[in-house]
Amino acid sequence: MAKQPAIILIRPQLGENIGKAARAMLNFGLVDLRLVAPRDGWPNPDAGPSAAGAGSVIDSARVYETVEAAVADCTHVYATTVRDRDMPKPVVSASEAAKQMKVLISGGEQPAIMFGPERSGMTNDDVALADTVLTIPVNPDYGSLNLAQAVILAAYEFHRENDTSPAFQPAHPEGLAAKEEIVGLMKHLEDELSAKGFFRSEGRKGTQVRTIRNLIQNAGFSSQEVQTLRGIVKSLARGRPE
Amino acid sequence: MAKQPAIILIRPQLGENIGKAARAMLNFGLVDLRLVAPRDGWPNPDAGPSAAGAGSVIDSARVYETVEAAVADCTHVYATTVRDRDMPKPVVSASEAAKQMKVLISGGEQPAIMFGPERSGMTNDDVALADTVLTIPVNPDYGSLNLAQAVILAAYEFHRENDTSPAFQPAHPEGLAAKEEIVGLMKHLEDELSAKGFFRSEGRKGTQVRTIRNLIQNAGFSSQEVQTLRGIVKSLARGRPE
């Protein structure tokens, strides 16, 4: 498996939150969970149920007494905060941290992302061990981000940075209708409309036809949809069944 | 207030999850919550406590009987899924959707992001009302994203797209030490090292000095840190107090 950031929870209080953090990690493929002095000891029976299928992350979690021990093998450590800590550290967005970690990992380094306890957050001593502060730009008037939510945003950003799926896929992966089919639909509709007297004057017909052709063109129909529409035009145009 | 996407929860099951979704929204400044046919009716006493301070979002939530009614005033609707739905809709990443919504909103449009019920997700009929599928690229081997987590990722992306805070701030916003101070530290250290006989031979001194100067330069010290280091050099260099 390619290297990935370790997720370090410092003095987490609730087993339930550890479980939810594990679930958040696995959602985006992260599995290296480290716990520093969890308040209620370890293992914690509340962690498993909240992990909801991410039990493997809980089972392989490593526990340390100190932050120093948890980061011992790491070469670049991020401290996650939602507020400016005024520490003499560079501060990066979660997105920028993800870009940095991708480069660090490709150079063989081991990054880690630290998260503080639920209520109090990290102490300045905890942050002093970090290379960089990772900040999540929450609503300044609210900013009550819980532990698992902070973890999922960091994990999501790392995953997104390494994700190769396209940012955009067209509506019809099998392709749009060929212009021949589109023009066939246009002409079919125009012929039926002419027969019904839709075009009041030859003078305005040009403009009306152009409006309809643009409308059909811009809709981005597939072949199948053009067939459906031709059936609809045919059905609407014919006389009511006796 | 600038327009922002409406968050539409379709047939949500648990009041607790509605509360958590409200909290996730407010974390990133979103306040327009719409509920379609919540299973346990509305108001739901379980929603408030889980909203943890985001009660204003819960209180102003609007309830609709149908998806059609909930999206009536919206001009561009996203359907959030974690899996490819194989619907004839364009599919975009959450990040791409955020970019699109920023443009749509600046053009006066009202976007909305729909989320399906906890267990089953949206039906194909729900998705048929969407313009675009918003997909969150979860771990294909796990992908158990809960409702509030899906909401927070979409809200985060929208906030991030509109956020003007810098992706990177240097460690010393007050500025690094001027080169005069850096060179002062270098010379101070070199003088003390010379006096202690650190440089064994004049021939190697040039290389050793260059190594030390690079090390000091690259550390990126502030003025204050240079002062601290000069105190340290001075203290180390002097004889032990009698």
Query: Nearest by CB to B90, which of A26, A168, A225?
Result: A168
Query: Nearest by CB to B96, which of A142, A159, A168?
Result: A168
Q: How far is B199 from chain A (nearest CA, A)?
A: 31
Q: How many CB atoms lie within 10 A of CB A26?
A: 26
How large is the average pLDDT for residues A149-157?
96
Token readout for B226 is 């240079």
Does pLDDT of A148 surpass 70?
Answer: yes
Residues of B in contact with A172 (CB under 8 A): 88
What pLDDT, in 10s, does the model give residues B56-72?
999 999 999 999 999 99
Given CB atoms, is B207 within the 8 Å cutoff of chain A? no
Q: How far is A65 from chain B (nearest CA, A)?
A: 28
Given CB atoms, is A93 within the 8 Å cutoff of chain B? yes
Which residue has better confidence, A140 or B155? B155
Q: Please give the Cα distance from B168 to A201 (Å, whole number).
A: 64
| pLDDT > 70 in chain A, percent | 97
Does pLDDT of B31 surpass 90?
Answer: yes
What stretch of H or E contains A91? Answer: strand A91-93
Q: Which of A217, A212, A180 is nearest to A198 (CA)?
A: A212
A152, A164, A227: best mutation site toward chain B, by most B Cβ within 10 Å?
A152
A:B CB pairs within 8 Å? 114
How large is the average pLDDT for residues A195-213?
89
Residue B136 CA, distance from chain mean position = 15
Report CB contact under 8 Å: A153, B153: yes
Given CB atoms, is A209 within the 8 Å cutoff of chain B? no
Q: Which of A131, A108, A86, A107 is nearest to B173 (CA)?
A: A86
- Please classify residue A158 by burial: count the beta carbons closer than 10 Å to its beta carbon, then call 0-12 exposed, 13-18 middle and 19+ buried: buried
Residues of B in contact with A103 (CB under 8 A): none
Residues of A in contact with B221 (CB under 8 A): none
Q: Please give the Cα distance from B178 to B221 (Å, whole number).
A: 9
Long-range CB pairs of B229-233, under 8 A, 24+ apart, other chains included: B229/B185, B230/B184, B230/B185, B230/B188, B233/B185, B233/B188, B233/B189, B233/B192
Query: Nearest by CB to B153, which of A26, A93, A156?
Result: A156
- For residue A233, the model assigns a pLDDT of 93
- Averaged pLDDT score across all residues of chain A: 91
Q: How far is A240 from chain B (nearest CA, A)?
A: 30
**CB-CB contact of A46 with A15 (8 Å):** yes
Q: Please give the Cα distance from B9 to B114 (Å, whole number).
A: 6
- For residue A204, the model assigns a pLDDT of 87
Residues of B in contact with A228 (CB under 8 A): none
Residues of A in contact with B167 (CB under 8 A): 92-93, 95-96
Does pLDDT of B230 surpass 90?
Answer: yes
Secondary structure class of A195 (helix, strand, coil): helix
Residue B231 CA, distance from chain mean position = 40
- For residue B85, the model assigns a pLDDT of 64
Given CB atoms, is B49 within the 8 Å cutoff of chain A? no
Token readout for A117 is 């306890």
What stretch of H or E contains A62? Answer: strand A62-64
Q: Please give the Cα distance from A93 to A90 (Å, whole number).
A: 10
Name the band, by pLDDT with cuts 50, 70 and 90, for residue B81: confident
Name the band, by pLDDT with cuts 50, 70 and 90, for residue B41: very high
Which residue has better confidence, B78 or A137? B78
ipTM score assigned to the predicted complex: 0.83
Report CB contact under 8 Å: A169, B92: yes
**CB-CB contact of B92 with B132 (8 Å):** yes
- For residue B1, the model assigns a pLDDT of 53
Residues of B in contact with A50 (CB under 8 A): none
Residues of B in contact with A168 (CB under 8 A): 90-93, 96
Report CB contact under 8 Å: B29, A149: no
Q: Please give the Cα distance from B179 to B171 (Å, whole number).
A: 17
Report CB contact under 8 Å: A149, B96: no
Q: Please give the Cα distance from B87 to B85 (Å, whole number).
A: 5
**Phi, psi for residue A200 in degrees, rounded to 5:** -65, -40
Does pLDDT of A163 surpass 90?
Answer: no
**Phi, psi for residue B205 in degrees, rounded to 5:** -60, -40
What pLDDT, in 10s, does the model give residues A17-45?
999 999 999 999 999 999 999 999 999 99
Query: Nearest by CB to A153, which of B29, B138, B156?
Result: B156
Contacts of B189 (CB under 8 A, 6+ apart): B212, B216, B233
- For residue A140, the model assigns a pLDDT of 84
**CB-CB contact of B216 with B226 (8 Å):** no
Contacts of A126 (CB under 8 A, 6+ apart): A10, A67, A79, A114, A116
Give rounded-to-5 percent helix, strand, coil for chain A: 45, 15, 40
Residues of B in contact with A29 (CB under 8 A): 139, 142
Report CB contact under 8 Å: B168, A90: yes
Alpha carbon distances (Å) from B190 to A127, B101, B231: 32, 59, 14
